[in-house]
Amino acid sequence: MTRFDFIVIGSGIAGLSFALKAAELGSVAIVTKRARAESNTAWAQGGIASVTSAEDSFELHVKDTLEAGAGLCDEAVVRRIVTDGPARIRELIEFGVAFDERELPDGSHELDLAREGGHSKRRILHARDLTGREIERALLAAIERAPTVTVFENHIAVDLITLGKLGPASTDRCLGAYVLDEATGEVATLRSDRVVLATGGCGKVYLYTTNPSIATGDGVAMAWRAGARIANMEFIQFHPTCLFHPQARSFLISEAVRGEGARLIDGKGRTFMEKYDARKELAPRDIVARAIDAEMKRTGARCVYLDITHQPAEFVRERFPNIHETCLGLGIDITRQPIPVVPAAHYQCGGVQTDENGASSLRGLYAIGEVACTGLHGANRLASNSLLEACVLAHRCCAAIAGQPPPAADSALDDLALPAWTSGDAVAVDELVVIYHNWDEIRRLMWDYVGIVRTDKRLQRAAARLRNLEREIAEFYWGYKLTTDLLELRNLATVAALIVDSALLRKESRGLHYTLDHPEADPSLCLATVLRR
């Protein structure tokens, strides 16, 4: 057993931001299941939303967020995160993040702000179209200079350790985590009274997603098994514009492209967004994704197109170098040709239910970033609010913990030795085909039955099949030695079931949850869907 003052699971903007602050208070373990730079954050293209212009205001940002959230945002949380944004932006710049600037007539420079769907003003700070990668680079460089931080790369958390799992307890709490070293196959026991989940989302639960392969919902699944409350998992955001190409099925075409004037067109070059919303291409993502889905189903087309060819070629290459180069490598010159796109699973608006400081319902367990449900996003996330929420909650969470008495001051658990992991009679996995088959089946049934447009019958079919899959996977889990693939499959099945169960409970259409059986919003259901074990 190894003790740390803090355990952070995940190495994106939320986990790294928290770790940098917590490092001033004690020892920190960062557990990340791949290399430290592999995170959802590193894939973020568009940018981070914050009020930094004199033409903008907190009230406008709050209003835009509430409108996108379709009535389910916690307004108090929205206001706190929005108003704390500028301070966190300054902090990122101090860490070395190089946001794009533009030159003014007098030779001075100011931040170059982009606009995205649902925003009434330009307020998106960016680093070309590689914003997440630039933030990740700067924060990891700062981590290298933090002597009290230990990074466990290629380690995947197996499960959280709770007092309740060790025996009868009057009140439960989180005591640490079991962590699998992928290289050795050994499971380490990490002990801490403060465990922070920063594991990102669950996009890989769907067949088509803009997320990297690591996005398997690990944090939500572990928190659920440990007894924490999970909220609003029915609200999965589908990004309207994922590149439609067999060699790049997970490549995102940033919303910033539409923010710079790109138009959605059908195969005959006709625009169609005006039929669905007065804001056209700049409508919130749920509206744009459903519009594209409807057009594809109406015409039988396999994709639609995003056209930015009316903009100067030099501007497009300069503003979107990564998108331009990636598409060009696939034979698509976006300065001369429209980009084939389809919607794909993108962001998890629900997650581990927390307060405004990241505290979950399980004492000692915190969640920040996409894995958490704070009340900011409601039924639909406003573009680029996710990176903002991650760094604001990391700051608030660490500040709240610092203001609390040390856990040992009110606990007799300081000297508790946690039991080591044991594999029992488990044997080495000899049928990987079972894992891969179940993985593919989960992702396909979620895409077919729990996608952009849903029905009660499809959801019920998905729930029935997932129950069987969970039983099969549980037998496999207990019978064989642990591998990363097996753990990810187990988590994927758990999260898929949570999404379906939440969707079945919401008998209305709101935000990202649209069902043909209940096509209108019901005012009496304007509240969070909370699941408890």
Beta-bridge partner residues of 189: 178
Q: Are 223 and 358 in contact (CB under 8 A)?
A: no
Helix (H, G, I), strand (E, B) or coil at 152: strand
Q: What is the DSSP string of 180-229?
A: EETTT--EEEEE-S-EEE-----GGGSSSBSS-TT-S-HHHHHHHHHT--
CA angle centred on 484, ends 428 and 226, rounded to 5°: 105
Contacts of 471 (CB under 8 A, 6+ apart): none
Handedness of CA 187, 192, 197, 199 (dihedral sign): negative
Handedness of CA 300, 302, 306, 310 (dihedral sign): negative
Distance CA 220, CA 495 (A): 7
Q: What are phi and psi of 340, to 5 degrees?
A: -70, 130
Q: Is 194 a catalytic residue?
A: no
Beta-bridge partner residues of 305: 265, 340
Distance CA 102, CA 113 (A): 9
**Tokens coding 89:** 């932006």
User: Which amino acid makes up residue 104?
Assistant: L
Choose the catalytic residue: 133, 229, 285, 443.
285
Handedness of CA 281, 285, 291, 295 (dihedral sign): positive
Helix (H, G, I), strand (E, B) or coil at 29: strand
DSSP assigned state of 122: -
Catalytic annotation, residues: 285
